[in-house]
Structure 1
Amino acid sequence: MAKKWTVEILDNKSKENVVPLIEELMQDIRPHDKEDLEASSDPVFVLIGSIKLDEETRVYRGEDGKLLAIFGKGTMEWGAPGRGIWMVGTNELYNGYTKSLLFKEAKRVLNKWAREHGLLHNIVYEKNRTSINYLRHLGAVFLVEPKTGWDGKKFYQFYIPYRGE
């Protein structure tokens, strides 16, 4: 039987002090998520900024209250259409939550967001094969050539269009 999880959608008041949440995440972050964040910039700075600027941030916890993952969406500062999306998880996901949360719930939430905004997008570090495969499973389409980002590291751009129910 699949384990149960809960979700909290952060309100603006909750976003005022996200440092404890980020600290909790960083204690057990999945290695490929950490590598992806470190490839782009300072992980804590990126996460705090993402959560504070998000239109919606979803915090998932397991039956025992342990942090599983954080999903977010928001407008991109360069004015791209649709919404930028992101997700980071903890190693706790692999203790019986992978199918129900990582696949079923993520697909449901992404479809809802794509229906609302038409297009979802972001970048992923080229060496983060785990996330690239996961995003493909969720319907992401990748642009062929990676873009050079910070410190010469390369990132693939991806998008998820709304495909209907």
Structure 2
Amino acid sequence: MAVERAVVAIGANLPRADGTPAIETCRWAAGRLATIPGMRLIAVSSWWESAPIPPDPRSPAYVNGAALLEGETTPEALLAALHAIEEEAGRARPYPNAPRVLDLDLVDLGGRVREGAPPLLPHPRAHLRAFVLRPLAEISPGWVHPVLGRPMATLLPTVADQAIRRLDEAGGKGV
């Protein structure tokens, strides 16, 4: 196995069972990413607030961010580790796009293209979501979509109309 960089999108819009707010769950999850065997946490973006997609008036706004990891893993092992962290946080999956206490999506793993068995790589909707691209642009501004061949600079304008705002100015990039 070669050393590869992984991009993980982090999101939440519900408090945990103990009342922990979504932003604290996201910060906690970023720390848990550093414990994935074979991987090292390189960077974490600022935290952003975004409206649910698709729009849902019953769903609170999301807190979103992204993390950059580096190491040796397989797509299956990394996806299993992300699901284990979600489960530890108390994630339930009652229906598609349901509000959640934590959502960890594998956006990219070393530029791999993978169809069929999970995880699909790159994440099939990452390039359509400001809540993925804005945080990703902070931690990997030179990222190029592995299928579309489009750099971040051409992807960001396509999501400019989506409601999103930065929650903190400090960011926490220096991991």
TM-score if structure 1 supplies the norm length? 0.32
Quick check: which one's helix share is greater? 1
Quick check: which one's strand share is greater? 1
TM-score if structure 2 supplies the norm length? 0.31
**Which structure carries more relative contact order (alpha carbon 8 Å, separation 6+)?**
2
